[in-house]
């Protein structure tokens, strides 16, 4: 039981890392524009396929390292395309944005099915990622350790970007008060676009990690995106700290629940947990204090 | 009676036209086509509920499949039990190694209990679920995401509990309902008339509801929830009641659909089917009751025609429909009919 518990704790940490990578982009753009891109799960899928294609060209250990920037840039470009053609036009109607981007998601999934087949493609993890460490009687697969490491790095880089650079300053300004930022000359639309590309790129990165864990299928994004939506619901508006905290809570909850019940019940419990959490803190884990009534 | 013409962007002739078509259909269509039409009319009942919550309440639910499924599974369990010889259990339970009926299946032997369950279970589930979210003033996008998670959790749960739900294949092979043989020639038309009658009752009831004070307050809460609070009303009960009514209509639609289609399965109620239900209403017109019925019929007939020939094409088409309708026709076909395509 003890070993099982520790094992699931570790699995929960790697699950939380995936949720976090998938949810960061959603949370950032939701904080800025109050819209959710339902095709965000397909950015994960795109990242997975890009990783697979990179490994076809450059096999071996170098391939995986190379796949990370390729997937990031590819997914960021796709995200930018969706934002500039569709989301920007609809951003005044958040719920309609949600539906329209769902349409994009359907088209992208079917496109992947036609291009790569419905079965999915396998990414062979290199030697140094397919082994495992044994620590205090539990086995830690290297691939999962790698995922946790990458998530921590991405989070650190994002925090530095937001806190220490000029673009980060602009993002925080628009996040706090869009009208005012626009009035003092911040290019609000460019900030939107940049954040959207960045968030989609991070999701593409998450796709590379998924490719290490299992086959890349046309609907690989779907199984991770709904928990990622719940992470956004629980996290609080556009807060990186809140998103991180809620990703860790939900990742651990999902993994630890699986000690006692099977996966499907754990999924139901996850939703019940989020609804109960809303009863206590409807504003999310981290909320900016404000006197605004209608944000 | 307030003026309804401003409410429903369609000319008052359309509902009458639909009714006339509905009355003529049994005499004009083959039994196969009549069965299809009846299925899609059952879906139209669900679509009416979406007009209430989404068009007039501003509540986007991506989980109506859950309530559709609750109604569908209730009637399916009853029919499964009705076919059984005394003391036996359904074949799929035997295959999964069960020895006895699960306790919660037992009461469904009674027709009265089944009908009560179809009416009450989805309504109660919808009321409790929406109250839990709305009373903490969580709404809008968050609510839509939570309903999608609900659809996923519900369908996953059904698939994984194969021994009591029939799992991925769902429940099928029914022979009779309430003593009528499903394969006998007279039953199809009778079920059709029942569906048409329920659709009419739902239409008239919602039309009245939307024109009443309740409808006015629901729309007010949609357009300015906090203003409604300042005027001294709590928007929560209005939204919860609307959501519960929509859930009830979805449950009734699900039960009728199961009767016509002869099957209920997770493939009909999961995440993707639930969001497809929204597209019917988006295309027909989210503010228009008659439009929603037209949308449900049109999309489903189109789907039937396209996906039998080119299954891949249908998903592309549906994705394109979502993008196109939401971007260019927020009022759907009803807006076009009014000559006010936004």
Pairing relation of β-strands B176-177 and B180-181? antiparallel
Q: Is A231 on the interface with B (CB under 8 A)?
A: no
Q: Looking at beta carbons, which residues of chain A come within 8 Å of B131?
A: none
Q: What share of chain A is helix, strand, coil (3-state, %, to 5)?
A: 75, 5, 20
CB-nearest to B275 from A102, A104, A267 is A102
A140 φ/ψ angles, rounded to the nearest 5 degrees: -115, 110
Inter-chain CB proximity A105 and B144 less than 8 Å: no
Q: Which residue has the higher pLDDT, A272 or A1?
A: A272
251-270 of A, contacting B, C-beta below 8 A: 262-265, 267-268, 270
What are the DSSP E strand ranges found in A102-152? Answer: 132-135, 138-141
Q: Is A27 on the interface with B (CB under 8 A)?
A: no
Mean pLDDT computed over every residue of chain A: 89
74-113 of A, contacting B, C-beta below 8 A: 86, 89-90, 93-96, 98-100, 102-107, 109-110, 113
- For residues B76 and B262, what is the distance between their CA atoms, to the nearest angstrom? 8
Inter-chain CB proximity A103 and B319 less than 8 Å: yes
Inter-chain CB proximity B323 and A271 less than 8 Å: no
pLDDT, tens only, B298-328: 999 999 988 888 878 888 998 999 999 998 8
Q: How confident is the model at residue B106 (pLDDT cuts 50, 70, 90)?
A: confident
Predicted model pTM = 0.92
- For residues A83 and A111, what is the distance between their CA atoms, to the nearest angstrom? 19
Shortest Cα distance, chain A CAs vs residue B192, angstroms: 32
| Residues constituting chain B | 342
Inter-chain CB pairs, A–B, below 8 Å? 125
Mean pLDDT computed over every residue of chain B: 89
Mean pLDDT score, A82-87: 93
Inter-chain CB proximity B326 and A109 less than 8 Å: no
Q: How confident is the model at residue B6 (pLDDT cuts 50, 70, 90)?
A: low
Q: Which residue of A has its CA nearest to B330?
A: A96
- Burial letters A81-112, b for 16+ CB under 10 A, else e: ebbeebbbebbeebbbbbbbbbbbbbbbbbbb
Q: Looking at beta carbons, which residues of chain A come within 8 Å of B316?
A: 106-107, 110
Give the pLDDT confidence score for residue B86 in this predicted structure: 76
pLDDT, tens only, A236-277: 887 889 999 999 999 999 999 988 888 889 989 999 999 999
Give the pLDDT confidence score for residue A295 in this predicted structure: 57
Inter-chain CB proximity B226 and A293 less than 8 Å: yes
At A145, list the tokens: 């350790």
Pairing relation of β-strands A138-141 and A132-135? antiparallel
Q: Looking at beta carbons, which residues of chain A come within 8 Å of B319?
A: 102-107, 110
Q: Looking at beta carbons, which residues of chain A come within 8 Å of B327?
A: 86, 89-90, 96, 100
Q: Looking at beta carbons, which residues of chain B come within 8 Å of A98?
A: 60, 141, 144
pLDDT, tens only, B14-39: 888 888 888 888 888 888 899 999 99
DSSP A245-294: HHHHHHHHHHHHHHHHS-HHHHHHHHHHHHHHHHHH-TT-SS------S-
Give the pLDDT confidence score for residue A184 in this predicted structure: 95
CB-nearest to B315 from A89, A98, A110 is A110
A94 to each of A34, A36, A177, B128, how far by Cα in Å? Answer: 7, 7, 18, 25
Ranked by mean pLDDT, the top range of A31-45, A87-101, A209-223, B118-132 is B118-132
CB-nearest to A275 from B132, B140, B156 is B132
Q: How confident is the model at residue B73 (pLDDT cuts 50, 70, 90)?
A: very high
Q: Looking at beta carbons, which residues of chain A come within 8 Å of B155?
A: none
Shortest Cα distance, chain A CAs vs residue B156, angstroms: 6
> Do the Cβ atoms of A238 and A77 come closer than 8 Å?
no
Inter-chain CB proximity A229 and B150 less than 8 Å: no
The C-alpha R_g of chain B, in whole angstroms, comes to 20
Interface with B, mutate which of A35, A257, A264 (most B CBs under 10 A): A264
> Do the Cβ atoms of B69 and B269 come closer than 8 Å?
yes
Q: Looking at beta carbons, which residues of chain A come within 8 Å of B132?
A: 275, 278-279
Residue A138: strand, helix, or coil: strand
Inter-chain CB proximity A226 and B149 less than 8 Å: yes
Inter-chain CB proximity A30 and B141 less than 8 Å: yes
pLDDT, tens only, A182-207: 999 999 999 999 999 999 999 999 99
Inter-chain CB proximity A282 and B138 less than 8 Å: yes
């Amino acid at each position: 039981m003890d070993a099982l518990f520790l094992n699931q704790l570790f699995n929960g940490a790697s699950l939380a890392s995936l949720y976090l990578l998938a949810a960061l982009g959603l949370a950032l753009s939701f904080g800025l524009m109050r819209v959710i891109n339902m095709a965000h799960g397909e950015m994960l899928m795109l990242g997975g396929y890009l990783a697979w294609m990179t490994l076809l060209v450059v096999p071996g250990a170098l391939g995986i390292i190379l796949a990370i920037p390729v997937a990031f840039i590819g997914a960021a470009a796709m995200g930018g395309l969706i934002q500039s053609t569709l989301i920007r036009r609809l951003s005044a109607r958040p719920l309609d944005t949600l539906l329209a981007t769902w349409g994009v998601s359907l088209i992208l999934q079917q496109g992947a099915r036609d291009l790569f087949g419905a079965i999915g493609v396998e990414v062979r993890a290199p030697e140094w990622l397919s082994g495992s460490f044994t620590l205090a009687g539990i086995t830690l697969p290297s691939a999962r350790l790698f995922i946790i490491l990458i998530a921590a790095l991405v989070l650190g880089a994002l925090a530095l970007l937001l806190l220490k650079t000029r673009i980060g300053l602009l993002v925080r300004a628009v996040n706090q008060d869009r009208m005012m930022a626009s009035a003092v000359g911040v290019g609000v639309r460019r900030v939107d676009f940049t954040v959207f590309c960045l968030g989609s790129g991070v999701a593409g990165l998450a796709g590379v990690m998924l490719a290490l864990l299992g086959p890349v299928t046309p609907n690989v994004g779907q199984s991770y995106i709904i928990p990622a939506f719940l992470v956004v619901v629980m996290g609080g508006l556009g807060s990186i700290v809140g998103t991180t905290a809620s990703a860790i809570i939900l990742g651990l909850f999902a993994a630890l629940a699986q000690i006692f019940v099977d996966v499907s019940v754990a999924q139901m419990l996850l939703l019940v947990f989020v609804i109960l959490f809303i009863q206590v803190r409807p504003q999310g884990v981290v909320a900016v204090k404000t006197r605004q009534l209608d944000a | 009676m307030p003026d309804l013409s401003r409410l429903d962007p369609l000319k008052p002739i359309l509902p009458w036209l639909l009714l006339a078509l509905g009355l003529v259909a049994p005499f004009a269509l083959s039994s196969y086509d009549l069965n299809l039409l009846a299925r899609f009319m059952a879906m139209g009942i669900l679509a009416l509920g979406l007009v209430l919550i989404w068009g007039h309440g501003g509540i986007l639910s991506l989980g109506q499949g859950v309530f559709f499924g609750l109604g569908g599974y209730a009637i399916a369990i009853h029919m499964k039990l009705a076919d059984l010889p005394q003391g036996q259990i359904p074949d799929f339970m035997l295959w999964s190694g069960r020895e006895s009926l699960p306790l919660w299946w037992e009461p469904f032997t009674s027709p009265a209990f089944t009908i009560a369950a179809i009416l009450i279970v989805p309504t109660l589930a919808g009321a409790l679920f929406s109250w839990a979210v709305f009373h903490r003033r969580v709404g809008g996008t968050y609510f839509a995401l939570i309903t999608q998670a609900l659809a996923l959790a519900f369908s996953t749960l059904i698939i994984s509990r194969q021994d009591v739900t029939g799992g991925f294949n769902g429940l099928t092979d029914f022979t009779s309902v309430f003593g009528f043989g499903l394969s006998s020639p007279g039953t199809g038309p009778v079920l059709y008339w029942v569906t048409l009658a329920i659709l009419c009752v739902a239409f008239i009831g919602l039309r009245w509801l939307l024109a009443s004070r309740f409808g006015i307050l629901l729309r007010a809460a949609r357009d300015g929830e906090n203003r409604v609070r300042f005027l001294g009303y709590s928007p929560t009960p209005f939204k919860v009641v609307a959501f519960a009514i929509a859930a009830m209509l979805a449950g009734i639609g699900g039960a009728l659909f199961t009767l016509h289609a002869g099957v209920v399965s997770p493939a009909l109620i999961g995440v993707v089917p639930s969001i497809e239900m929204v597209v019917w209403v988006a295309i027909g017109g989210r503010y228009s009751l008659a439009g929603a019925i037209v949308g449900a019929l049109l999309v489903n007939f189109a789907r039937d025609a396209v996906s039998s020939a080119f299954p891949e094409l249908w998903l592309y088409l549906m994705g394109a429909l979502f993008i196109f309708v939401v971007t260019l026709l927020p009022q759907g076909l009803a807006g076009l009919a009014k000559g006010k395509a936004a």
